[in-house]
Amino acid sequence: MGASMGTAMSAAMSANWLLLLAPLTPLLLAGLWCLQGYRDSTATPERRSAPPPAALPWLAALAPVPALLIALFGSPGTHLILEPVLLGNLWVLDDVSRALLGMTALLWLISGLYAQHYRATRSDTQPNTSQHNTAFWLCWLLALAGNLGLILCRDIAGFYSCFALMTFAGYGLVVHSGSAAAKRAGRIYLIMAVPGEMLILSGLVLAASVAASPVLHALPPAIADHPWGSGIAALLWAGFGIKAGLAFLHMWLPLAHPVAPTPASAVLSGAMIKAGLLGWILVLPLGLAPVPWATLAMTGALIAAIGGALIGVTQRAPKTVLAYSSISQMGIITSMLATGLMQPALWPALAPVVVLYAVHHGLAKGALFLGVSGLTGRARLWLWLPALSLAGLPLTTGAAAKVAMKEVLYDASYPGLILLLSLAAVGTTLLMVRFMYCLRQTQQAADNTATPDSGSRALAVLTGLAILVSLIGLPWLTAGTVADTFTQRWPGAADAVQLLWPVAAGLVLGGLVGGGLASRFAGRFTARGLAIPAGDLIVLAEKAAAGVATLWQRRPGRTWRWETLVQTEGRWLARIGQRIAQLDRRISGQAGGLFVVLAIAIMLLASAA
Partner 1 sequence: MSWTSWMPILVLLSSLVTALIIFCLPENRHATRGLLNLAGAVIKILLVTVMIVGVEQGMTFEARYTVLPGVDFILRADGMAMFFAGLSSVLWLFTTLYAIGYLENSPNRSRFFGFFSLCVTSTMGIALAGNLFTFLLFYELLTLSTWPLVVHRGTEKALAAGRTYLIYTLTGGAVLLGGVLWLYGLVGDVEFREGGMLRDMPEALHGQFALIFAVLMVGLAVKAAMVPLHGWLPLAMVAPAPVSALLHAVAVVKAGAFGIIRVVYDLFGIEFAASLNLLWPLGMMAAITILYASLRALAQTQLKRRLAYSTISQVSYIVLGISLFGPVGTIGALVHLLHQGFMKITLFFCAGNYAETLGIHDIKDLDGAGKRMPLTSAAFTLGAFGMIGAPPLAGFISKWYLGVGAVNAGMTWALWVLIASSLLNALYFLPIVHRLWFRPRAVAGWPEEQRLSQRFETSGWLLWPTVATALFIIAAGVFAGMPFSPLSWAQLVAAGEYL
Interacting residue ranges for partner 1, rule: CB under 8 A: 34, 37-38, 40-42, 83-89, 131, 157-158, 160-161, 164, 168, 175, 190, 194-195, 197-198, 201-202, 205-206, 208-209, 563, 566-568, 573-574, 576-577, 580, 584-585, 587-588, 591-592, 594-596, 598-599, 602-603, 605-606, 609
- Paired with 508 in beta bridges are none
Closer residue to partner 1 in complex, CB, 12/598: 598
CB of 210 to partner 1, least distance (A): 8
Q: What is the CA radius of gyration of the chain?
A: 26
Q: Which is nearer to partner 1, 83 or 124 (CB)?
A: 83
Minimum distance from residue 362 beta carbon to partner 1 (Å): 25
Cα 409 vs. chain centroid, distance in angstroms?
25
Compute the least distance from the CB of residue 30 to partner 1, in Å.
12
Other CB atoms closer than 10 Å to residue 181's CB: what's the count? 13
CB burial string 115-129: b at 16+ within 10 A, e below: bbbbebebeeeeeee
- Decide whether 3 or 605 has the Cβ nearer to partner 1: 605
Q: With respect to partner 1, which residue has the nearer C-beta, 72 or 191?
A: 191
User: Does an H or E element contain 22, and which?
Assistant: helix 21-42
Classified as helix, coil or strand, 314 is coil
CB of residue 208 to partner 1, shortest distance in Å: 6
d(CA 30, CA 63): 10
Q: Cβ 111 to partner 1, closest distance in Å?
A: 23
Beta-strand ranges (E) seen in 200-294 are none
Q: What's the sign of the alpha-carbon dihedral 566, 570, 576, 578?
A: positive
Closest CA to 237 of 286, 191, 190, 309: 286
Between residues 107 and 150, which has the closer beta carbon with respect to partner 1? 150
* Cβ proximity to partner 1, 124 vs 563, nearer residue: 563
Please identify, using beta-carbon distances, which residue of 92 and 408 lies nearer to partner 1.
92
CA distance 168 to 389: 32
Main-chain dihedrals φ then ψ at residue 376, nearest 5 degrees: -130, 165
CB of 131 to partner 1, least distance (A): 7
Distances (CA, A) of 133 to 122, 169, 195: 9, 15, 30
CA within 13 Å, CB half, 207 = 31
Q: Which residue type does 45 have?
A: P
Of residues 50 and 446, the one with the C-beta less far from partner 1: 50
Cβ 161 to partner 1, closest distance in Å?
4
Q: How far is the CB of 186 from partner 1 (least distance, A)?
A: 8
